[in-house]
Amino acid sequence: MENENDIVKSVEEPSSVKPPMVNASNVASKSVRFTNFILDVILALIIYYGVRYILYSMGLGPLFEPKDNPLLQFLILLYWPLVLFLYYFIFEALYQRTPAKFFTKTIVVYRDGTKPSLSSICARSLLRLVPFEQFTFFGKDSTGLHDSGSKTHVIYKF
């Protein structure tokens, strides 16, 4: 027969490690944000041309040279934005960081320091496709359209 004292009740202890709150001391600088942009575009271009190379080597090169097919011409125009969207969405959804953010030791968070939802990451990735959006973080603070539109921040990960 079990005694009430024999049953060990597991009580969840609150985590002693809380996510970092966004504040002036840990928000990524404009130069770091620009470095992230340049490195990520270079890596996305490598993926873009790598996939094209693979398709050409498989004999599917004519897909990228449509002459009389307006639908295929339109789809080719969407190839770069699709690569860019998937690059940002996949990395930030899985790791809260792109490869460039790993390099600069930065991470994407909500204001309270928690991990953004998939819908916020999706919005962030879509907003990056707005023409000249990458220059919006050169304003008074280092918050870009893709940050404000998704209510996220890029901070240093200590």
In the chain, domain spans: 26-156
- What pLDDT is recorded for position 5? 52
End-to-end CA distance of the chain: 51
Q: Is the pLDDT of residue 64 over 80?
A: no
* pLDDT, tens only, 94-137: 999 999 999 999 999 999 999 999 999 999 999 999 998 988 88
108 near 101, Cβ under 8 Å?
Answer: yes
- What pLDDT is recorded for position 120? 97
- What pLDDT is recorded for position 9? 47
Average of per-residue pLDDT values in the chain: 86
- Binning pLDDT at 50, 70 and 90, where does residue 15 land? low
* pLDDT, tens only, 36-58: 999 999 999 999 999 989 988 99
Share of the chain above pLDDT 70, in %: 88
Nearest to 148 by CA among 112, 122, 123: 123
- Binning pLDDT at 50, 70 and 90, where does residue 3 land? low
Share of the chain above pLDDT 90, in %: 56
Q: Which residue has the tokens 């190839």?
A: 79
Of 7-16, 46-55, 86-95, which gets the smallest average pLDDT?
7-16
- What pLDDT is recorded for position 81? 95
Angle at 67 between CA 65 and CA 73, to 5 degrees: 70
